[in-house]
Structure 1
Amino acid sequence: MARPPRRMRLYHARYRDFGLLYATLAPIRSVATRLSRRLARVAEAIEARLLTIEGERGILGPAHEAYTGHSSRENRAVWSAWDWSRGGEEWNDTDRPAEWRESVIEHVLLPHLPDGGAVLEIGPGGGRWSGVLQLRADKLVLVDVTERALDLCREWFSGATNVDYVLTDGAMMPSVDDASIHFVWSFDTFVHIAPLDIADYLAEISRVLKPGGRAVIHHSGRFQRRGGWRSPMTARLFERLARDRGLAVTRQFDSWSDGRFGVRTYGDVITVLESPSE
């Protein structure tokens, strides 16, 4: 006599050990689990498409408002536990890291960095760019979502008298006075920040910049799943958010030095902002 099919044997074993209700519900649960996983993948794909459509149109719409990733809580957890032994140099967008970093300083940072004045950096991390800022600024304000990053910077600038440290809740900078900053810099930070928080940061940048002050912000330029832990921001949406908060967008670019260097690997963009003059 042929053996009963495996599913039948399993059903009888469950019936024998746990009773009729258990034996009936167990296979239903298995089917429901497989179905829910498939539906989750479908929902993820739909969410990505909705975010892409909104981003392409420069609209912070319902999909972005419902997006829960890259929150300040997540960022705080990720970067508090991060191994900062390389100081953030692991994110250089090239196979020539030293040359690429110098090109960023020469062609992206220094052309906009004033000689003196008050400078604010959002997301200094291990102080990757902060040293250049500190040497030029009369006052440097370092703003980060983690105490870990600020502690690293305190060690880095232990002898400096022109550096202040601000722990942010994820967008707000209440201890920074209105119209008190000449220049804002952020690199490798906004690519990890949720769009709603970016909108709040841009409002704060608009508030703290002096008339005619500038900001240079590196951020995602198009939404894509590849490229690590990156937020669903686009160049067009970033421009719209900045303009809606009173900032002029003077330039957006993704490469420099005749295309030799850039931030194009994951579709990033650098945006130059300016606060209107009085």
Structure 2
Amino acid sequence: MGADDGRKLLMSDSNRLEKTVTAEGLLWGSEVANEYHGIASSHMDDQWRDYINPFFEKYEFDLTKTIDFAAGFGRNTKKLLEAGAGHVMMVDFNQECIDQLKSTLEGPRAKSFKNDGYSLSGLSDQSASFFYSFDAMVHFDMEVIISYIPEIARVLKSGGHALLHHSNYSKNPGGDFRANPHWRNFMTAAILKHVAIRSRFDVIEQREVPWGEEQIDCISILRKK
């Protein structure tokens, strides 16, 4: 394969990812402010206690510069700030979510960043000490997640951790994720572990968790080498 062929292949991959994130990433804006963001926010304290806090108690995460990825309307950012995050970079693809974050949370300890839906190109290398995503990547297409893992490694400093809540639903490959339970996209703990290891991460824990269905989700804790 020549250089021109390689560039064409990369462009093809980018075009496919752009179509995927445009089709799926725009479902989470102001049109679901009450049905999704409002309800999810009302459950945040319980979910933090049951799913997130046990990891915070177990590991010494450095929250000095934290990325809240797919931040939505900011319910996770609020909890991260309460947990002692020095500064939170709130990243989302949806412009309506960015507008909400700017109007409600942006300030000395939090700043919003709009990304392209499959990379973290607006963030500098080794600019974060902790990368966090909860109740968002569970809906991401597998190829989109695979494109993000090396980017997460790029923006994390050496020794930095990532906490990723993702789907562990292996049924209906190639199907519409909206036909799956709780809109879980096709993904597994094993696939994420494989890609993470190839991206210079140590996978220090993977905990499968139920979400209305047994073991439908997984929380993976990664540490950059």
TM over 0.5: yes
- Give the whole-Å Cα distance in 2 for the aligned partners of 1:89 and 1:247: 34
Is 1:150 equivalent to 2:132 in the alignment?
no
Equivalent position SS for 1:82: helix
CA contact (8 A) 2:169 2:185 kept: no
Aligned ranges 1:23-172 → 2 under 5 Å? 71-85=20-34, 88=37, 90=39, 98-109=45-56, 111-112=58-59, 114=61, 116-135=63-82, 136-158=84-106, 160-172=107-119
Write the letter of the residue equivalent to 2:187.
M
Counterpart of 1:244, as a letter, is: R
* Structure 2 gaps, min length 5: 1-15, 173-179
Cα drift, residue 236 of structure 1? 0.6
Distance 1:239 1:73 in 2: 26
Structure 1 position 87, deviation (Å): 6.3
Structure showing greater radius of gyration is 1
CA contact (8 A) 1:71 1:193 kept: no
How far apart in 2 are the matches of 1:171 and 1:113? 28
Q: Secondary structure at the match of 1:178?
A: coil
Matches within 5 A, 1:226-237: 226-237=180-191
Question: Quick one: which of 201, 215, 219 aligns to 1:247?
Answer: 201
Higher relative contact order (CA 8 A, sep 6+): 1
Q: In 2, Cα distance between the equivalents of 1:86 and 1:264?
A: 18
1:209 aligns with 2:156: yes
The structure-2 alpha-carbon separation of the partners of 1:157 and 1:246, relative to structure 1 and needing over 3 Å to count, comes to same
Match of 2:224 in 1: 275
How far apart are residue 204 of structure 1 and its match?
0.5
Name 2:175's counterpart in structure 1: none
Residue pair 1:70, 1:193 contacting (<8 A) in 2 also: no
In structure 1, runs of 5+ residues without a counterpart are 1-66, 256-261
Amino acid aligned to 1:127: G
Q: Retained in 1: the 8 A contact 2:62–2:129?
A: no
Q: How many residues align?
A: 200
1:223-275 Cα distance to aligned partner (Å, 9 max, x none): 235313222111111111111111111100024xxxxxx54726111000000
Report the TM-score when normalising by structure 2. 0.78
CA distance in 1, matches of 2:39, 2:78: 17
161-170 or 218-227, which deviates more: 218-227
Write the deviation string for residues 192-240 of structure 1: whole angstroms up to 9, x where unpaired. 1111111111010010111000000001113235313222111111111
Secondary structure in 2 matching 1:78: coil
SS at 1:188 equivalent: coil
Aligned match of 2:136 in 185, 189, 202?
Answer: 189
Correspondence for 2:165 among 197, 201, 218: 218
Report the CA distance shift for 1:240/1:82 in structure 2 as closer, same or farther (over 3 A): farther
Percent identity among equivalent residues?
23
Does the 8 Å CA contact 1:70/1:231 hold for their aligned counterparts? no
1:89 Cα deviation (Å)? 5.9
Greater percentage in strand: 2
Say whether 1:265 aligns with 2:207.
no
Deviation at 1:180, TM superposition (A): 1.5
- SS of the equivalent of 1:184 reads strand
102, 113, 123: which one pairs with 1:176? Answer: 123
4+ runs deviating over 3 angstroms = 67-70, 86-92, 96-101, 108-116
Q: Quickly say closer, same or farther: Cα 1:97–1:149, change in 2 above 3 A.
A: closer
- Contact 1:145–1:169 (CA under 8 A) maintained in structure 2: yes
Question: 1:86: Cα distance to partner?
Answer: 6.1
